Chains A and B, each alone.
Chain A
Amino acid sequence: MLRSEGEEIDNTGNTLDFKWGKLKGKTREGIQLYESFMLDKVEYCLYDCVYLQNEDESKENHIGKIVKIMDSPNNQRKVKTVWFFRPSQVENWLRERQVAFLVHEIFLASGEGRGVANINPVEAIAGKCYVVCTSKDIKNRQPSEEERRKAEFVFSRAFDVREFTFLDKLDDIISGIKVEHFFNSKEWSALSGDQERKEVENPKSSGSEKENLQAPIVQGGEDTKLKSQGVLYHSGSLRSTSFEETVRLGSSTKPKIRCKDAGALSGFHASQDRTIDRRIFSSEFPSKRAKLAGKEADPKPAGEKGRKDDRVILSKRPTKFVDRGATPELAQDKGTNTHAQYHNIREREKDSARHDRRLSTTITTEKQLDHSERREGAIDFVGQHNWISSTLNHNDKGTMLLNKEASEAPQQNKMIKSDCHTVEAQKVDKTKWFKEFTWKDKMDCARSKGTLVRLQNLDPSYSAAEIEEIILTYLKVRCTAKVSQQIKFTGPHNGQALLVFKTEEKAAMVIKQLRDRCLMLPNGRPLIAQREAPSVLPKSAKYYGNLTVDRIKHREQKDAVSTSHCAQPNTIEYELSLDWILYQKRSEASRQTLFEGHGKELATLKAQLKQY
């Protein structure tokens, strides 16, 4: 029953690196309980915190604590996990209860009911998660400063899944598990510093393959530096290649698709695929960098990079073959390469170290590239650039902090983290690229930079693409346009749009041109451009006309407020609402009159235009 083979074939035909650890006991039903297991060369022990694959891959992974490791007679390897909630998962309740929380704080599930714990297949585990308990409970060993800094997440409070409340004190028993197990373990301090090393060198970890896992020891300080540059680099490459990237992504996801085709999509698949993706990110970027650099007039770093790249690949190959045994595809197919690499942690660490180092050298060229690309008039927009970089920087602060904290943690971990980051960023760019919120950010950014221009007197039916084309044809400048949606409060004659230019000079040029000369649109509309001044919209918009009676006691009335309904003619609200309807009609009428007047005035002026 006990499988001691390092690898075995799971039912989807893929090899799964799995190994049981120490046997803990056996239940009456014949389920064997273990204290640890190895998955993909990482040892997971009881009460470790792990990331679990979210069913919806686009969402963040779940975080849970392993409280039971089970092997049932029908070979189903399961782990029972007690969940942690990310603030985003309990956002509503945080808001409602006005609970302040730390950026990297998570909440332990507690109470009774759904959502406290689940049993999952081990394949759903996507990696380790370093969580530190900062509870002031006397039984809790207070984490050291060091541990706090290294922690990916901290928790000290629980979230009751039934009452939807936040508890400052953890219950004594959570989902049948004593609370002590949720506190920081005593031996943690010894192990925590380096999770990878813990897995490797911890003498307790039974049957660990030491030769496989020797975490490279990198100087903490330097490492942090490299790291942060790594992150910057990632954001940089995203910034400059957002469009190309999607194409590349398309090609690089090929292996992923194939993987999926190979069998039913299991949790293992998903997690493995993701790792492949990450690998692809990190391996694709540099090579592209090198290519771009080749185009550039900066041969030295380019050559250097190229060389290094080769070396990486060269150094990767032999080990791969040794390690995995060459499958026919392996050598040719990059996807498979990464697939194989994935299993070779040591190699990966070396690689990532090298990647990082190379990144630090490329960072300057990176900037130049950026500029030149802009000059070339590539399709990317300054606004987007700035926006992405600012968001990324913003995000980076978070991860960078984490990264700094994890300065001594193994490279691999961090690499994953930063890659994760890229994945996240990529997601942002894929899913929310042109949505309102992105535009708003872009607009705010452009506004503060003075590259936002407001166009007036457009035909209200023009589309954004048409406006962009007009500007490109007649002013020879590229821009991003957004038409303002005409609502009933604005005049029907005056179509407006907001344009984001790449530089302030270009914006100024356009404004000057349109001021000194006239660009006549068809139908006698001279275009007007204005710099869009920062307008301070009050955060909470005032809205008149929602009345409530102070000290309201009538329950029915209170309930009625929250539902949408047609007012009945026998109520006070009906009577009051008539006033509002009257007002609406009146204001609509006055607007109509005003706009009609405008129309007439414009028509007389237009009549003066002489035809050619």
Chain B
Amino acid sequence: MGNSTEEYAAFEEKVKRTVYIDNLSPLVTDAVLKTALGQFGTVESVQFIPNYVEPKNIPQCALVVMQTEKQAKAIIFEMSNFPFMMSGMPRPVRALPAEVKMFADRPIKPGRRITCQWLDPSDRNFDVAQKLKEVTQRHAREASYLLQLQLEEEEKLAAEQSETLKTNYKKCEMLESLFSDGSHGRLAYRYNLKVTDD
């Protein structure tokens, strides 16, 4: 028992040193993540969270174990105060403190005995239990629908931004070409403005 308590304590300590990062582009790999967070401290390990149960195309999430809790905190602080770009712009990644339930290899919590109970259709609690089941499943569907909506929103936002960026870029390009072929001088002359070459 003492062993498992120790194990669990070690695990909890590890959780504290871990940063949960999401909104990651699919281009981000172990190495990218390691170098990126290496700026803040020593990265002990990186683990991408595989998406087994969500059918949706959610952005990658990862758990990054740092050497100390302080480093993990620093990362979370920096990333929530400044938009942090990783393998692509301008969507920033998000860092949050990790939680026990995010780990696949969480050990058994010491001292916990799980006792369950079979309810047969004749049981007086059976109806409520069935209802609970339904509700849970409905909740899962709702969550997944919300996710879908959010993905659509992401798409829209990305499309808008790309439009803005394109327009901005075009404008910049036009200005540059005006300056490079000397049109700006002629225009200034035409509109009776003074331009200084500097």
Contacts and interface: CB of A to CB of B under 8 A. Distances in A.
A610 B39 CA distance: 55
A457 B133 CA distance: 8
Contact of B87 (A440, A542, A564, A567): A564
A397 B24 CA distance: 38
Given A466-B114, A567-B85, A609-B128, A517 B121 contact: yes
Nearest to B79: A566
A559 to B, nearest CB: 12
Interface in B97-114: 99-104, 106-109, 112, 114
Contacts of B44: none
A546 B57 CA distance: 15
A493 B135 CA distance: 11
Contacts of A518: 118-119, 123, 125-126, 129-130, 133
Contacts of B139: 491, 493-494, 598, 601-602
Contacts of B101: 460-461, 485-486, 495
Contacts of B116: 470, 473-474, 519-522, 527
B85 A520 contact: no
Given A487-B49, A547-B165, A474 B118 contact: yes
B118 A573 contact: no
Contacts of B109: 461, 463
A281 B26 CA distance: 42
Contacts of A537: 51, 55, 57
B132 A543 contact: no
Contacts of A584: 23, 94
A164 interface: no
A606 interface: yes
Contacts of A484: 52-53
Counting contact residues on chain A (CB < 8 A from B), the size range is 35 or more
Contacts of B181: none
Contacts of A545: 23, 25, 88, 90-91, 154, 157-158, 161
Interface stretch (A66-74, A379-387, A588-596): A588-596
B86 interface: yes
Interface stretch (A229-237, A324-332, A413-421, A574-582): A574-582
Interface string A453-478: 01011001111111001100110000
A519 B117 contact: yes
B165 A576 contact: yes
A522 B114 contact: yes
Contacts of A190: none
B197 interface: no
Given A483-B104, A577-B90, A580-B157, A564 B84 contact: yes
B30 interface: no
A518 B133 CA distance: 9
Contact of A489 (B54, B121, B131, B154): B54
B154 A544 contact: yes
Given A526-B129, A587-B150, A482 B140 contact: no
Interface stretch (B66-74, B141-149, B188-196): B141-149
Nearest to A550: B166
Pick the most buried of A491, A526, A565, A566: most chain B CB atoms within 10 A of its CB.
A526
B58 A489 contact: yes
A219 interface: no
A610 B140 contact: no
Nearest to A459: B114
A15 interface: no
A156 to B, nearest CB: 32
A2 interface: no
Contacts of A454: 53
Given A526-B132, A576-B89, A482 B108 contact: no
Interface string B155-169: 101100110111011
Interface-central residue, B23, B114, B140, B154, by most chain A CB under 10 Å:
B114
A213 to B, nearest CB: 49
A322 interface: no
B136 A546 contact: no
Contacts of A610: 124-125
Contacts of A436: 50
Contacts of B108: 463, 465-466
A88 interface: no
Interface in A348-393: none
Contact of B131 (A522, A565, A605): A605
Interface in A598-612: 598, 601-602, 605-606, 608-610
A566 B82 contact: yes
B85 A483 contact: no
Given A491-B140, A518-B129, A518-B133, A577 B85 contact: yes
B153 interface: yes
Nearest to A487: B61
Interface in A110-141: none
Contact of A566 (B32, B78, B137): B78
Given A461-B100, A573-B85, A583-B154, A595 B125 contact: no
B146 A573 contact: no
A528 B136 contact: yes
Contacts of A494: 136, 139-140, 143
B5 interface: no
A537 B115 CA distance: 36
B22 A547 contact: no
Nearest to B32: A564
Contacts of A487: 20, 22, 49, 51, 58, 61, 102
A456 B140 contact: yes
A496 B137 CA distance: 11
Nearest to B36: A564
A572 interface: yes
Given A486-B99, A564-B86, A543 B146 contact: no
A562 B132 contact: no
Given A483-B106, A484-B52, A602 B136 contact: yes
Nearest to A546: B88
A464 B84 CA distance: 34
B132 A573 contact: no
A316 interface: no
Contacts of B135: 601-602, 605
A573 B112 CA distance: 49
Given A517-B119, A518-B119, A518-B130, A496 B53 contact: yes
Interface in A201-253: none
Contact of A591 (B118, B121, B146): B146
A525 interface: yes
B106 A561 contact: no
User: Max chain B CB contacts within 10 Å: which of A443, A547, A573?
Assistant: A547
B22 A498 contact: no
A29 interface: no
18 contacts: A469-B114, A470-B114, A473-B116, A488-B96, A489-B22, A490-B53, A494-B143, A498-B53, A521-B114, A528-B137, A544-B157, A549-B166, A579-B161, A580-B92, A591-B143, A591-B146, A594-B142, A609-B128
3 interchain residue pairs of minimum CB distance: A545-B91, A546-B88, A564-B36
Given A520-B117, A606-B128, A609-B125, 10 more contacts: A470-B114, A488-B22, A516-B121, A519-B119, A520-B116, A525-B132, A561-B87, A562-B87, A579-B161, A601-B135
